[in-house]
Structure 1
Amino acid sequence: MSVPIVIHRPSVTGGRRVTIQGQIVGLAHDDHDVVEFLRRAGLPDSEQLLDDPVWVQWRGGRAHRYEAA
């Protein structure tokens, strides 16, 4: 099963790449950044989506953690 939003593992310099439907939408340094990317993509109530495994997959590292790997 594939989810539409992937928050990738933290980079060595900090931040996590965010993809929506396979398209890179930005580098997030906190949950606020992710919510803004989702809002710009037209996803309403994006704050509630962050912990919904049907919508979001957190890869590598703990969810909601953005510091360098």
Structure 2
Amino acid sequence: MATDRPVVVYPPDEEGGRRVRINGRIAGRAYSARDIAAFMQEAGLQSFDEMDVVRSALIEWRGGGPDVWAS
């Protein structure tokens, strides 16, 4: 599945973590929207916060949206 969104959040794993890919590179594993916001800040969007994660069109959510953290 191709996407034009620079951020992909993958389905939760058995430990509740979700892989996060930014611009084609794995940024890490997130356990909350706060973690995704931190990855976005590291990628250059310093003002990105948890509410931006929930609302952003930059993010493709796979396997559930920002409220899904368990498999």
After superposition, residues 47-62 of structure 1 pair within 5 angstroms as 47=49, 48-50=51-53, 51-53=55-57, 55-62=58-65
Partner of 1:65: 68
Higher strand share: 1
How big is the shift at 1:6?
0.7
Identity of matched residues, %? 33
Q: Name segments (4+ residues, structure 1) moved above 6 Å.
A: none
| AA in 2 matched with 1:58 | W
Q: How many residues get paired?
A: 67
Q: 1:64 to 1:45 in 2, by over 3 A?
A: farther
TM-score (norm 2): 0.80
What's the CA shift for 1:58?
0.5
Does structure 1 conserve the Cα–Cα contact (< 8 Å) formed by 2:33 and 2:66? no
Contact 2:8 2:20 in 1 (8 A): yes
Name the counterpart of 2:38.
Answer: 36
Which TM-score applies when normalising by structure 1?
Answer: 0.82
Cα RMSD (Å): 1.5
Q: Which amino acid aligns with 1:65?
A: V
How much does 1:43 deviate? Answer: 1.2
